[in-house]
Chain A
Amino acid sequence: MQSTYEERIERARRALEKVPAYGPDVDINQFLLEAAAEEDSYIEPENLSETEKRRALRAGIIASEEGRSGTFFQRDTKVLCARPRQEGLEVMSTTGALKKHEWLTDIMWTAVQPDADKFTAAVALHRTHGYFIRTLPGVKTTCPVQACLYIGKKDLVQRVHNVIIAEPGSELHIITGCTTSEDVESAMHIGISEFFVRKGAKVTFTMVHTWGKEVHVRPRTGVIVEEGGVYINNYICLREVDSLQMYPSVFLTGPGARARMNSILYGLGHSRFDVGGKIVFQAPETSGEIISRVIADDRSEIVSRGLLVSETAGVKGHLECQGLLLSDDARIYAVPELDARKKDVELSHEAAVGKLAEDQILYLMSRGLTANEATSLLVRGFLNVDIEGLPPDLEAETKRLLEMEYQGLL
C-alpha cells in the first residue's frame, strides 16, 4: 500500500544524518539555513537587478521572455517571478502549487525518496520553494519555459523542490539555469526535481549550471515516464564548482517509453564532479540512452557514472562516456554499468578516456591555426554532442548556450 505524504516526510527525519553513497560529504550546518520567505508578490522579469539578469542570461534565462512560454525566478529563498505565458500551462512555486492542488501530495516524494540521504531529508523537512511546472492534457508548449534558481547570499543553502508534470499527450520544454551572484563564491544548492511524464507526453529539460568556485551542489532527480512518453535531459556545466554530485534516475514504467540523458562537463580548478545517470527499464519496448562528454583539466576530478537496469524483456539501452584528460593532475573515473535481469534485452556501453590527438592538432596547424586555436577547436568539437529530439530552435539555442559557456572559458 502506498504511503501517505506525512509518512514519507516522517521517513526523512530518520535520514538527516545519512551520508550519500557518492561524492564528498558536506556539512549542511556550515551554511545559512534560512527558512523560506513568505509566498511572494511577483515582479516582472525585466525588473530583476542587472546582476541577476546578466548572470541568468548566461544560464539561458531571458528577462524580456522573448521566445519563452513562461518564467520562474527564485533568488535565495524567495520567488521573484512565476508565470506562464501560454494557456494550459502552469508555472508557480511548489509552495503555491501545494495550496492550489490538493492531489500534489499524492505524488510528491514518490519519484525521489525523501530518505535517500541527508540532502533529500533536508529538503523534505525544510523546503525553500522550488518550481512547479505543468502542462495540461494535450497542451504543447511551442517555446520553452525558463526557470532560474539563483543564489545571491553568501554561504546560503538553497533547498528547493521542483515538480514537473506533463499531463497525457502534452509537450513541455524547459530551460533551466542555476547560478550564483558574481560575489557569491561559497554556498550550497540542494535541488529535488521530480518529473512525471504521463502517457504519450514529452518533456525536454535543458539545464545549465554556472556556480561559484566554492559552491556545493546536490541535485536529486527522479523521473517517471509512462506509456509512450519521452524524456530528454541535457545537462551542461563548464564552470568551476567546489563539488557537484548527482545521480538522476529515470524509470520507464510504461510500454514504449523513451529517455535520453546527455551531459557535458568541463572540470576546471579543483572542481569535483560525481555525475551519473540511471535508467530503469520497467516495461517492454522501452529504450534509453545515457551519453556523456567530460573534460578534466587543472586539478579537477570527474567521476562519470552510468547505469542501465532492465527489469523486463524487450528493452534497448545504450551508455556512452567519452572523456578527455587535459592535465596530469586531473582525473576521470568512468563507471559504466549494465544490469540485465531478463533475457531478450539489448544493453550496451562504451567508455573511452584519452588525450587530444597530436595528429589532429598538427593537421589544424597546417591549416593555419595556432596550437592553442587548434586545441580549442578540438575541445569544442569534442563537446559538440548531437542533441536529438529537441525542437530545432531549442537545439540551436542549446548549442548557442554551450558555445557561450565555452567562450567564457577562453
Chain B
Amino acid sequence: MTEPILSIEDLRVSVGGKRILNGVNLSVRDGEVVCLFGPNGAGKSTLLYTILGYPGYTIESGRILFKGVDVSTLSIDERVRMGLGIAFQHAPRLRGVKLIDLIHLAAGDGLTDEEIEEAAARLRMSSFLHRDVNYGFSGGEIKRSEILQLIAARSDFLLLDEPDSGVDVENVVLLGREINQLLRGRSGLIITHVGYILNFIRADRAVVLYEGKVACEGDPYGILKDIKDKGYKACLECDRCSPPTRKE
C-alpha cells in the first residue's frame, strides 16, 4: 500500500465563528481518486478550501499533512507550489488579465506553447485565450477554463469542486474526458452532487461527509446509487456506515 499523499487528522474548522467541520479524518493515497459526497452544508467545500488554505476557514484543531508536511500554516500559494491544484466551482472575473497569461504563469517552463494551444483546442477554449479571464464566459466555459489551468499547472493533487454542476451534456463529456486524462498518475478529491463525472473518470473510493464528519466510505458507484435511490438519510442508515454517526 502506497503512503498517503494527503492525511487529514481530526480536523475541526469554523467559518465566521460557526463550526463546520467536526473532526474529519481522511487520507488519500498517492495515485488515489476520492469522491466527496454529502448533502448541502455538510462541509465539503469547507474541507476543500481548508486544504487549500483559504483565509476565513479557521482550523481549531487537527492537522492537514500533504506529502508528509503539515501545511496548516502555509499560505495558499505555498501549498499550490507543493503540488495542490484546484478547479473552482465559481471563479471570479479578472479585468485586464488574459487567460493565456494565467496559463503561462501556471505552466511555468513545463509546457510548450504548442502543448498549451493543443490543450486549449481540445477544451474548445482557443478563442478564449486572449480574453479577460471569465469575462463573458458561460458556466461551461468557466469550468473548461478551470480544467485548462489545471492541465497547465500539472499539480500532483487535484481538488475539483463540482466540475460537473450546471454543465450541459456535451460539456460533461468534454470535461469528463479531460479530467480523466488529467487524473492519470495523479491523486484527487472531487466534490460531485450529481455524479455525472463518475461516468468518465475512475474513482477509487467515495467518502460521505455529513454534519462535518466522515459518515461513510466505500465504492463510489455503489454509494452514489444508494444516495440517488434512497437519499442521504437512508444512505447513512445503511450497513456500510461507520458507527459514530449513529451513536451520536
In-complex Cβ contact of B94 among A365, A370, A381 (8 A): A381
A366-B86, A381-B132 are contacts. A360–B76 as well, Cβ < 8 Å?
no
Q: Given the complex, which residues of A lie within 8 Å of B102, measured CB to CB?
A: 364, 367
Q: Tell me if A368 and B105 are in contact (CB < 8 A).
A: yes
A365-B75, A367-B153, A371-B75 are contacts. A381–B105 as well, Cβ < 8 Å?
no
Q: Given the complex, which residues of B lie within 8 Å of A357, measured CB to CB?
A: 92
In-complex Cβ contact of B76 among A359, A366, A378 (8 A): A366
Q: How would residues 355 to 378 of chain A score, 1 for a CB under 8 Å from any chain B CB and 0 otherwise?
A: 001011011111111110000011
Q: Given the complex, which residues of A lie within 8 Å of B149, measured CB to CB?
A: 367
A367-B80, A367-B102, A368-B80 are contacts. A383–B91 as well, Cβ < 8 Å?
no
Q: Tell me if B105 and A369 are in contact (CB < 8 A).
A: yes
**Residue A380, interface by CB 8 Å:** yes
**Residue A235, interface by CB 8 Å:** no
A371-B75, A381-B132 are contacts. A365–B80 as well, Cβ < 8 Å?
yes
Interface residues on A, range: 20 to 34
Chain A 356-409 interface residues, beta-carbon cutoff 8 Å to B: 357, 359-360, 362-371, 377-378, 380-384
Provide the bound-state CA to CA distance between A357 and B153, in Å: 23
Q: Given the complex, which residues of A lie within 8 Å of B76, measured CB to CB?
A: 362, 365-366
Q: How would residues 292 to 330 of chain A score, 1 for a CB under 8 Å from any chain B CB and 0 otherwise?
A: 000000000000000000000000000000000000000
Provide the bound-state CA to CA distance between A172 and B174, in Å: 50
In-complex Cβ contact of B80 among A366, A377, A382, A384 (8 A): A366
Report the minimum CB–CB distance from B180 to chain A (whole Å). Answer: 22
Interface residues on B, range: 20 to 34
Q: How would residues 98 to 114 of chain B score, 1 for a CB under 8 Å from any chain A CB and 0 otherwise?
A: 00011001100000000
Report the minimum CB–CB distance from A405 to chain B (whole Å). Answer: 15
**Residue B96, interface by CB 8 Å:** yes
Provide the bound-state CA to CA distance between A363 and B54, in Å: 10
In-complex Cβ contact of B77 among A360, A368, A384 (8 A): A368
Residues of B within 8 A of A (CB): 52, 54-55, 75-77, 80-81, 86, 88, 91-92, 94-97, 101-102, 105-106, 132, 149, 153
13 contacts between A and B (CB under 8 A): A362-B55, A362-B76, A363-B91, A366-B52, A366-B77, A367-B149, A368-B77, A368-B106, A368-B153, A371-B75, A378-B94, A381-B96, A381-B97
